[in-house]
Amino acid sequence: MSMSLTELWTILGCGLVTILSRALPFAFVKSLTMPAWLINFLSFVPITIMTALCCQSLFIANPGHLATLNIANCLAAIPATIAGVLTKSLLMVVVVGIMAMAVLRYFSIG
Amino acid sequence: MNPSLTFKAGVHDVLPTVFGYIGVGLAFGIVAHTSHLSLLVVAGLSFIVYAGSAQFIITSMLLLHDPLSAIFISTFLVNSRMILMSTSLAQYFRHESLTRNLLIGSLVTDETFALAMNKQNKTNGKLSFAWQSAANVVAYLVWGIATIVGAVLGGLITNPERFGFDFALTAMFIGLVYLQLISDRHLGLSLQLMVMLFVALIYYFMIGIMSQNFALLVATVTGCLFGMEMKKCR
């Protein structure tokens, strides 16, 4: 049970950033309206940020050169995606993904 | 799901989503443990930050010793979708007091937001403070407890990589991006697929010349601008 100063500041700072993102819109909506362009811009944030986060796991950065594929993650992503299409359940995607990665590691693939 | 908007109905309605919280919460606890975070830090992240996917990002950035400013910016970017969700959800609570609005707002998640949008389809566009609070508080407690149990279990499993637990984060984002893709009727499938391809290409070329986190930021912002332009063309 311990916490470094960096960890404490991270928790407090990120906690503040998160609660402001969540709660402030409720205060604003009660008093004023957001400009249409901003709502339009924000409507693309979920799909763009989640795609970029997936890419972060699927590509390996080689500074100064083109990126390469993270073979193990790309292979495990295939059954995970199929599980998502079949069940539409986040839990199943995570469970199947973990199992697929365990199988890949067992056979030392990737 | 019936039209009742009581506290009890809220607890009942949120139960199916609880399994999702348990699954991802356990995974987060295990990942946090393997990233050498103490139980106290896990509890702090879950109960104070309380931001599913952002907690995974924060954990990996702590492990990489990224600067605090970068961690804050990433958290803001990952959670910026909350601004949109809160803005939509807040329309249903304008008649409530500011205090009640802030209480609801401080515990909104992707799941309770989705649940509320589902619920108002059955109540002619009405939501109540009691119902929303019940859903929010159950989700909050289940998430926090699941992450702590995961962190304790993580200590019992000596080599979690062998069991593929480190892939939970990637799998969760794949699941989230897929569910977003099929459920956002406002943007539609083809536009979202084009935006995804654009983001992937920008990210692929950017990580060769800048840090991964900065590439993520550039790909996200240019992806949103690209999406806005493509929407105009339709």
Whether B82 sits inside 8 A of A9 (CB atoms) is no
d(CA B45, CA B51): 8
Q: State the pLDDT confidence band at B34, using cuts at 50, 70 and 90.
A: confident
Which chain A residues are within 8 Å of B45, Cβ to Cβ? 11, 14
pLDDT at position B132: 97
Higher per-residue pLDDT: A1 or A91 = A91
Which residues touch A89 (CB under 8 Å, ≥6 apart)?
A: A83, B20, B175
Instruction: Extract the tokens encoding B23.
Output: 């699954």
pLDDT at position B167: 84
Domain membership of residue A80 (yes or no) is no
- Number of domains within chain A: 1
Task: Average the pLDDT over each of A56-60, B142-146, B191-195 and give the range with the smallest value.
Answer: A56-60
Q: Is the pLDDT of residue B1 over 80?
A: no
pLDDT at position B100: 96
pLDDT at position B80: 77
d(CA B149, CA B16): 20
Please report which helix (H) or strand (E) contains residue B182, including its range.
Answer: helix B168-183
Domain membership of residue A72 (yes or no) is no
Q: Nearest chain A Cα to B58, which residue? A: A10
CB B46 within 8 A of CB B144: yes
- Closest of B11, B104, B183, B161 to residue A29, by C-alpha: B104
Domain membership of residue A62 (yes or no) is no
Domain membership of residue A13 (yes or no) is yes
pLDDT at position A1: 65
d(CA B13, CA A109): 42
Domain membership of residue A43 (yes or no) is no
d(CA B51, CA A11): 11
Tell me which DSSP letter residue A60 carries.
E
β-bridge mates for residue A69, sequence order? A59
Domain membership of residue A15 (yes or no) is yes
Q: Is the pLDDT of residue A43 over 80?
A: no
pLDDT at position A41: 82
Task: Average the pLDDT over each of A13-17, A54-58, B13-17, B69-73 and give the range with the smallest value.
Answer: B13-17
Task: Average the pLDDT over each of A41-50, A51-60, B128-137 and give the range with the smallest value.
Answer: A41-50
Instruction: Extract the tokens encoding A66.
Output: 């083109």
Domain membership of residue A10 (yes or no) is yes
Q: Tell me the average pLDDT across B162-177.
A: 79
**Most confident segment among A102-106, B60-64, B157-161, B176-180:** A102-106
**Interface A:B, Cβ pairs < 8 A:** 301
Site from B18, B61, B83 to mutate, A interface, most A CB atoms within 10 angstroms: B83
Side-chain half-sphere of B132: how many Cα atoms within 13 Å?
26
Q: Is the pLDDT of residue B54 over 70?
A: yes
The residue assigned the tokens 């995607």 is A93
Read off the pLDDT of residues B69-81 as tens digits, 9 standing for 90 and up.
989 988 998 787 7
Nearest CB partner across the interface for A30, out of B24, B94, B192: B94
Whether A13 sits inside 8 A of B200 (CB atoms) is no
d(CA B122, CA B107): 23
Whether A25 sits inside 8 A of B86 (CB atoms) is yes
Q: Is the pLDDT of residue B225 over 90?
A: yes
The residue assigned the tokens 């993520």 is B216
Concatenated DSSP letters for A75-102?
Answer: HHHHHHHHHHHHH--HHHHHHHHHHHHH
pLDDT at position B171: 85
Whether A98 sits inside 8 A of B180 (CB atoms) is no
Tell me which DSSP letter residue B160 carries.
G
pLDDT at position B39: 94
Q: Is the pLDDT of residue B50 over 90?
A: yes
Please report which helix (H) or strand (E) contains residue B122, including its range.
Answer: none
Whether A65 sits inside 8 A of B54 (CB atoms) is no
pLDDT at position A27: 92
Whether A55 sits inside 8 A of B223 (CB atoms) is no
Which chain A residues are within 8 Å of B33, Cβ to Cβ? none
Site from B165, B177, B211, B214 to mutate, A interface, most A CB atoms within 10 angstroms: B177
Q: Hey, how many other C-beta atoms are within 10 angstroms of the C-beta on B185?
A: 7
Minimal Cα–Cα distance from B219 to chain A, Å? 7
Quick one: B153 exposed, middle or buried, by C-beta within 10 A (0-12, 13-18, 19+)? middle
Minimal Cα–Cα distance from A93 to chain B, Å? 6
Tell me which DSSP letter residue B65 carries.
T
Instruction: Extract the tokens encoding B225.
Output: 């601008």
ipTM score here? Answer: 0.81
Termini Cα distance of chain A: 36
Whether A14 sits inside 8 A of B228 (CB atoms) is no
Q: State the pLDDT confidence band at B9, using cuts at 50, 70 and 90.
A: very high
Higher per-residue pLDDT: B99 or B184 = B99
Whether A105 sits inside 8 A of B161 (CB atoms) is yes
Whether B208 sits inside 8 A of A28 (CB atoms) is no
Domain that holds residue A12: 1-33
Q: Nearest chain A Cα to B25, which residue? A: A91
Q: Is the pLDDT of residue B85 over 70?
A: yes
Site from A6, A48, A70 to mutate, B interface, most B CB atoms within 10 angstroms: A48
Read off the pLDDT of residues B102-111 as tens digits, 9 standing for 90 and up.
999 999 987 7
Q: State the pLDDT confidence band at A7, using cuts at 50, 70 and 90.
A: very high
Domain membership of residue A17 (yes or no) is yes
Q: Tell me the average pLDDT across B85-94.
A: 86
Q: State the pLDDT confidence band at B125, using cuts at 50, 70 and 90.
A: confident
Which chain A residues are within 8 Å of B195, Cβ to Cβ? 44, 47-48, 51
Site from A56, A82, A87, A105 to mutate, B interface, most B CB atoms within 10 angstroms: A56
pLDDT at position B15: 80
pLDDT at position B160: 62
Minimal Cα–Cα distance from A32 to chain B, Å? 11
pLDDT at position B158: 62
